[in-house]
Structure 1
Amino acid sequence: MAGDPTSGLGADGFDPIDFLERAVPVASNEDVTEMRELLVGTIEARGIDARVDDAGNTLASKGADPSQASTHLVFNTHIDTVSPHVPFSRKGDDRIRGRGSCDAKGPLSALLTAFFAVDPQESRLTLAVTPDEEVLSTGAAAIDLDADLYVVGEPTGLDVCPAARGRFQGTLTLSGTAAHAAEPESGANAVAGLEDALAAIRTFDDGRQPHPQLGSATLTPTTVTGGEATNQIPARCELVLDRRSVPPETAEGFRSELIAAVRGAVSADLGVEFSLTDRPSPFLEAFATDADHDLVRTLAAAAERAGGPGAVRPFTAATEASYFAPAPVVVFGPGELADDEGAVAHAEREYVAVADVRRAAAALTDAARRLVG
């Protein structure tokens, strides 16, 4: 229709829905090789060089040399999905269903549309697609592009998300002294010490000011183990904690503060240790881009012109966007993490609306042309 910002998509020979219908049937929950081959072939079919680095990232660029580019914009998302694989289906014309349809092959289809459509001259546009976002993010951790702006494709309902909490995980260990349960005073009960430790955890964030975009951090006990026999004073207790952080907290800063808080709460005859879960890549830390930044305002306005809400809000899940901060970064894409019926991403009913993929493609194309085109 006249004035429709989604009209003309695919005029360069690329249709995001056609690509999405080929991508969703490809299982990429256990091995991304076939999906990566589809992506590389799609890029190279348009005469653009694509390379796969040692970390498994797919990289392609257009425009000026990095050393001479006036602005360098990066489009990022991932090709891996969670298990189990959910087969592709399309019922009618309104929704594409299957694993990865919204997380994140729908966003990838929209990003590809804009990447192919925009022709930067003095600026640079890079596509950087990672292989293991749902697991360890070793791909994203290895990306070192030193760019000016980043857009990360995730299901946001076409909202622009310039901030997200981080996620840390670790194990709190209380160590005591084993003894016969008939004479509890002869030992140091690690399980009993958990009562004071949990009190310290509940009050850990008391007095902290909420982040202006993300609100307050959360600290949640998730699993607990302790004791070896029902007639023995337990000498050891382990509690796993989930931390959803806000800036400027770091993983190491959280670890040291938590140890101090618990040490001050439990009995002196108990040992206190806290170990962050071992990872081959850094934790996904919190990030926040100024909501008034040109990247945020430009993409929000473009999303509204494309028929989306154009809202600016925090992203509710941890994301690889944190690896690109403190450079300006936003999360954006078609699809929803959850709708009125329940979970969508990572669920058996995962889907994305065809119209929203096209709107996202139009918004990204519009915004990229204004930022680097």
Structure 2
Amino acid sequence: MTDAARQDARALVTEAVRIPSLSGQEGEVAAFLVEWMNARGFTARVDEAGNAVGERGQGPFTVALLGHMDTVPGDLPVHVDERGVLHGRGSVDAKGPLCAFLAAVAALPAGALAAARFVVVGATEEEAPSSRGARHIRTALRPDAVLIGEPSAWEGLTLGYKGRLVARVRVRKDNFHTAGEGTSAADDLTEGWFRVRTWAAGAGSGGGVFDGVQATIQDLGARSDGVTQEAWATFGFRLPPAWSPEAAEAAVRGALADLAGLDLEFVGHETAVRHPKDNALTRAMRVAIRAHGGTPVFKVKTGTSDMNVVAGHWPVPTLAYGPGDSALDHTPEERLDLAEYDRAVAVLTDALTRLALGSAFPRSAAP
């Protein structure tokens, strides 16, 4: 990568981070990214879901690079410090990875562009339960290989994410004197939580945290008006591949079946996904990381991403990749080392070129 290209790539991510883009409010950053792409050889537009979509290349194979533009709340001052570290909300999760995709595709040589078509998508609402952008693009595109833009560190290759289920639990009952016998709504809710936690503890396969069910209380409260009392909670579950959201919902309902006055609502159904580690895409990425002085590291993560949303529709080689430390996601310390960002852009440019020129895709391109 030339010095001019490096500076252009750094300016891209810095400006993208400067533009606020909470979930559902991505219009300004989408317009900026589309303008940037159109000025650098892409055919770019904002699609019906608000995604920023840019294409380069005319080859018979399609590579999708799916990142997201939206961020969680947090008004963090945006600046590049004396060490070359970009501070600001979205620098890691996930404008850094998305901009690395854009910069890499912008730098591809003519041979790669003749061999493959590259579609970069800055998706909307990944940080919201709707996942609007990914749900739209998964039916509008049929790629032969997929990269998901999420922080993995520049040597990391993420093969999978756990699934998710959220249970909203509410207990209502008549008020009673606490000196008498009986249980309060909060007592019953607590009993329900103990049952659910016991199920979760025994539901794993013993293969480590990725293969277990993780259960947490995300919200908790209780109140009484002197006549009735009410307690409520939100239980969050991170699910391994062995547990579908539907099976987990049935297990939770069974654990709570005999608790009177209890209402249950389930949302956030996401199925876990884990992709194979040996295919054309992983080989190209591994070779590129080594060529730039790194040691490839395969990972699986306990969170979710748009990989969960598209996996069932795109049964092709898939990885999540991007610069940044995912431990900084959503924190007040979110920041991205721009030297690492540079390395990720170089790795992606190299890997995408190898992938295109290798012509080792799993199926012929869609008509």
Q: Which of 61, 66, 69 in structure 1 is aligned with 2:55?
A: 61
Partner of 2:174: 178
- Report the CA distance between 1:260 and its aligned residue: 0.9
2:19 matched to 1:26?
yes
Partner of 1:322: 308
Distance change (3 Å), C-alpha of 1:80 and 1:207: closer
Partner of 1:150: 146
**Equivalent residue of 2:199, what SS?**
coil
TM-score by length of 2: 0.84
Distance change (3 Å), C-alpha of 1:350 and 1:194: closer
2:294 matched to 1:301?
no
Q: Please, which runs of 5 or more residues in structure 1 have no aligned partner? A: 1-6, 339-343
Partner of 2:62: 72
**Equivalent residue of 1:99, what SS?**
coil
Distance change (3 Å), C-alpha of 1:336 and 1:296: same
Partner of 1:82: 72
Partner of 1:161: 158
- Report the CA distance between 1:337 and its aligned residue: 2.1
2:296 matched to 1:310?
yes
Partner of 2:275: 289
Amino acid at match of 1:160: L
- Report the CA distance between 1:124 and its aligned residue: 2.3
2:185 matched to 1:190?
yes
Q: Answer whether contact 1:284 1:323 (CA < 8 A) is retained.
A: yes
Point out the more displaced range, 27-36 or 161-170.
Answer: 27-36
RMSD: 2.7
Distance change (3 Å), C-alpha of 1:181 and 1:215: same
In the aligned structure 2, how far is the partner of 1:315 from the partner of 1:182?
45
The equivalences for 1:241-252 within 5 A come to 241-252=235-246
Deviation string, structure 1 residues 21-69 (Cα, Å, up to 9, x no partner): 332222223732221121001111123221211110111223347xxx3
Q: Answer whether contact 1:308 1:359 (CA < 8 A) is retained.
A: no
- Report the CA distance between 1:254 and its aligned residue: 2.0
Partner of 2:354: 370
Larger proportion of helix: 2
**Equivalent residue of 1:219, what SS?**
strand
Q: Answer whether contact 1:259 1:273 (CA < 8 A) is retained.
A: no
Deviation string, structure 1 residues 269-302 (Cα, Å, up to 9, x no partner): x14442124xxxx644321101233322331332
Deviation string, structure 1 residues 211-245 (Cα, Å, up to 9, x no partner): 67923120112323334146x674x4322101111
Q: Answer whether contact 1:20 1:109 (CA < 8 A) is retained.
A: yes
Q: Answer whether contact 1:163 1:288 (CA < 8 A) is retained.
A: yes
- Report the CA distance between 1:246 and its aligned residue: 1.4
Q: Which of 241, 247, 250 in structure 2 is aligned with 1:253?
A: 247
Q: Answer whether contact 1:133 1:320 (CA < 8 A) is retained.
A: yes
Deviation string, structure 1 residues 125-152 (Cα, Å, up to 9, x no partner): 2111112222232111111212222111
The equivalences for 1:43-54 within 5 A come to 43-54=37-48
Deviation string, structure 1 residues 246-279 (Cα, Å, up to 9, x no partner): 114333332222101222xx45xx14442124xx
Amino acid at match of 1:196: E
In the aligned structure 2, how far is the partner of 1:20 from the partner of 1:191?
48
In the aligned structure 2, how far is the partner of 1:107 from the partner of 1:101?
8
In the aligned structure 1, how far is the partner of 2:289 from the partner of 2:3?
15
Distance change (3 Å), C-alpha of 1:248 and 1:126: farther
Deviation string, structure 1 residues 319-352 (Cα, Å, up to 9, x no partner): 11111214332111111123xxxxx332333211
Partner of 1:335: 324
Amino acid at match of 1:200: R
Partner of 1:219: 215
* Seq. identity, %: 26
- Report the CA distance between 1:78 and its aligned residue: 1.3
- Report the CA distance between 1:122 and its aligned residue: 4.1
Amino acid at match of 1:216: G
**Equivalent residue of 2:113, what SS?**
coil
When the two structures are aligned, how many residues end up with a matched partner? 345
Q: Answer whether contact 1:167 1:318 (CA < 8 A) is retained.
A: yes
In the aligned structure 1, how far is the partner of 2:64 from the partner of 2:206?
30
In the aligned structure 1, how far is the partner of 2:148 from the partner of 2:123?
11
The equivalences for 1:346-361 within 5 A come to 346-361=330-345
TM-score by length of 1: 0.82
Q: Which of 10, 16, 25 in structure 2 is aligned with 1:17?
A: 10
